[in-house]
Structure 1
C-alpha cells in the first residue's frame, strides 16, 4: 500500500515537474523567437522616417523584435537590401526597374537586383515639379536655366527626376544650379528664393509642400498626354495620375505620374521575419495613418498587383491567410 502511494506521488511529482518546465519554456518562447534587424527609411522631416518609428514600436510590442531604423533613402535602401545590409527598406517601384536594368548606381548589380522581393505595397507617390505661382515658369521646358532641387543623390525620387527629365529631353546641365537637398533644407532654400523649383515626391497633403503652399501660392507643373507617354516608356513603373485642382489651390487639375512606395526585402531573408513585418503593416494601418496620413490610401488588395519584383514567400503567406491569394 505504501509502495503504491510512493509510486503515485512519484508520478505526480514527475507530472508537476514536466508541467513547470512546459510553462517555463512557453514563457521563454516569445523571447527566443524575437529578432533584431535593420529597416531602411530616410532622413527625418519627410514621411518615410515615421513609418520606420511606428514599425519599430509595433514590432517590439507584438513580437519583441528590435528594429533599428536606418537613414538611407530609396536608392540607398535598395542597394543595401540587395547586398544584405538591410533586412527591409522603403523604395519606389520605379527604382527596382532601374536596378534590373543595371543603370547608373546599379551597374554590375543585376544579379543582386534579381534577389529583391516585395514585403508590402504601400501608397502611391506623385511626381511634383513645382514653382511659386508668381513665377514665369508655366511648363517644364521653362525650367531650363533655373536653380532646382532634385532630392539627395541616394533618394529614389532623385533617380526618378533625372530619368523623367531625360525622357522629356532635359539634362541636369540645362539648369543653372542643381541642389541635392533633403525636404527641410529644400523648403527653407525655396522660401529664401535660393532655388526656383522643387522637383520631388508629393501627395494630396504632403508636409513639405504644405509648408511651401502656406508660405506663398505655388504652381505644380502639368504634363501633356504625350509627355506622360514618354515618361512611362522610360520607366514602366510609373502610371498616369491627375491631381484635383482643389489640392494646394491650383487653377487647373494637374496631370503627372505616380509610383507605388514599397517595402522591399531580399529573397534570403527568412519567411517568418517577412511574414511578421507584412502582418504588422497591414494589421495596423490605423497606427501608421496616425503618423503618416498617406497610409489612409494603403489598400491590402494592391499587394497582389505586379510591382516589378516578385513577392516574398512570407508576404504570400499573409495574403493567403487573408484569402487574397490561393
Structure 2
C-alpha cells in the first residue's frame, strides 16, 4: 500500500511539474530569463463592468486581436482602474485599461498601491474618461451638497469613479455618512435602479457619451450635476491627473447646457513580463490603424491617433509602442 501511495505521489509531482512548465510557456515568459517572448497564449484583458465603454471597447479589441495574435485567446475580465493595475502588476492580466490619475499613483506606490508598480508600461492614451453625477430629470438634486440624505451608486467599490467621488465629497465637507445610502454596483445595474426609483443618483468616470446614460436619457430623461470651481481646483491639487472638463450641451439629448466636471485619460497598459516589444508593437499598430472601428463604437474616440496618444501620454511608454510611434513620426 505504501509503495502504491509513493508511486501515485511521484506521478502527481510529474503532472504538476509539467503543468507548471506549460503555464510558464503559455504566459510568454522566456525560459531562464523571466522576460516576455511573443504574446501569451492566454491573454487576460482587464476591463470594466458591463455598461461602460471600456467593456464595449475591450470586446471589440479582443475580436481584432484574434487576427493580430492568431495563436492566442483573449478573455475580457470585468475590472476597474485600480484593480486592473494591480492585476497587471501581479501578472494576472496581460493588458488592461486604467485612468490617467490612477497610473501615477501606481508608479509612485501611493493611495491604493502599497508598493511601486514598475513592471507595467503604457501602450496608448485613448480618450478622456469623464466624471458623471447622473440624476433623473425631475430630481430636486442640483449640486453635490444636495446629495445629502440621498441614495447613490458610486459604482464598484475601489473603482476610480468611487474614489473620485469620495474626494469630491470631502472637498464639499461631506462623506458617505451624509448620504441616505450607498449601492456598490456597475453602470448598467445602477441605471436600472435609477430608472426604478431605488436610488437617486449614479456616479462614474466613463466616456462622454456612454451608451448606458444615453439610453437612460432617452427612456427616462436625465440631468448631470456640475462640479463647482473650488471642487475642480481641489481635485487637481490632490492629483494632477484630474483635469477640468466640460461635457458639452447636447452630448445627452436632454442636457442642453455645458456641464463642468473633471476627466482623466483612459490608458491602455501591458505587463512588461508578459508582452515583448514585437507583440506590443503589433498591439499599438492595431490600436492606431483600427481607429475607424473604435470611433464607430463611440464618438469619444474621434480625436485619437498616434500624435494624440503621444501628446497626452500617461506613464512610461513600452518599447514596442515607442517603436511604432517613431515609425509613423509621432515620436522623435
Q: Normalising by structure 1, what TM-score?
A: 0.82
Other-structure match for 1:28: none
- Which has the higher Rg, Structure 1 or Structure 2? 1
Q: 1:240 aligns with which of 236, 244, 248?
A: 244
Q: 1:123 aligns with which of 105, 127, 135?
A: 127
Other-structure match for 2:58: 52
Other-structure match for 2:264: 259
Other-structure match for 2:33: none
Between the aligned partners of 1:239 and 1:149, the Cα distance in structure 2 is 23
- Note if 1:213 corresponds to 2:220: no
- Structure 1 position 308, deviation (Å): 4.0
Greater Cα shift, 171-180 or 263-272:
263-272
Give the conservation status (yes or no) of the 8 Å contact 2:152–2:182.
Answer: yes
Return closer, same or farther for 1:235/1:307 CA change in 2, 3 Å cut-off. Answer: farther
- Structure 1 position 307, deviation (Å): 4.1
Aligned counterparts, 1:1-326, within 5 A:
35-36=40-41, 37-64=43-70, 65-106=72-113, 108-110=114-116, 113-248=117-252, 249-268=254-273, 269-305=275-311, 307-326=313-332
CA offsets per residue over residues 249-274 of structure 1, 9 Å max, x none?
Answer: 33532111111101112333311221
- Structure 1 position 295, deviation (Å): 2.3
Other-structure match for 1:5: none
- Structure 1 position 205, deviation (Å): 2.8
Between the aligned partners of 1:173 and 1:299, the Cα distance in structure 2 is 43
Return closer, same or farther for 1:306/1:75 CA change in 2, 3 Å cut-off. Answer: same
- Structure 1 position 276, deviation (Å): 1.4
- Structure 1 position 119, deviation (Å): 1.0
Q: 2:74 aligns to what SS in structure 1?
A: strand
Between the aligned partners of 1:266 and 1:168, the Cα distance in structure 2 is 38
Q: 2:322 aligns to what SS in structure 1?
A: helix
Between the aligned partners of 1:247 and 1:73, the Cα distance in structure 2 is 24
- Structure 1 position 88, deviation (Å): 0.6
Give the conservation status (yes or no) of the 8 Å contact 2:101–2:241.
Answer: yes
Give the conservation status (yes or no) of the 8 Å contact 1:149–1:179.
Answer: yes
CA RMSD of aligned residues (A): 2.1
Return closer, same or farther for 1:34/1:95 CA change in 2, 3 Å cut-off. Answer: closer
Number of residue pairs matched by the alignment: 292
Q: Structure 2: where are the runs of 5+ without partners?
A: 1-36
Return closer, same or farther for 1:251/1:304 CA change in 2, 3 Å cut-off. Answer: closer
Give the conservation status (yes or no) of the 8 Å contact 2:38–2:279.
Answer: no
Between the aligned partners of 1:241 and 1:140, the Cα distance in structure 2 is 17
Q: Normalising by structure 2, what TM-score?
A: 0.81
- Structure 1 position 304, deviation (Å): 1.5
- Structure 1 position 235, deviation (Å): 1.4
Between the aligned partners of 1:154 and 1:273, the Cα distance in structure 2 is 31
More helix by share: 1
- Structure 1 position 39, deviation (Å): 1.4
Return closer, same or farther for 1:34/1:314 CA change in 2, 3 Å cut-off. Answer: closer
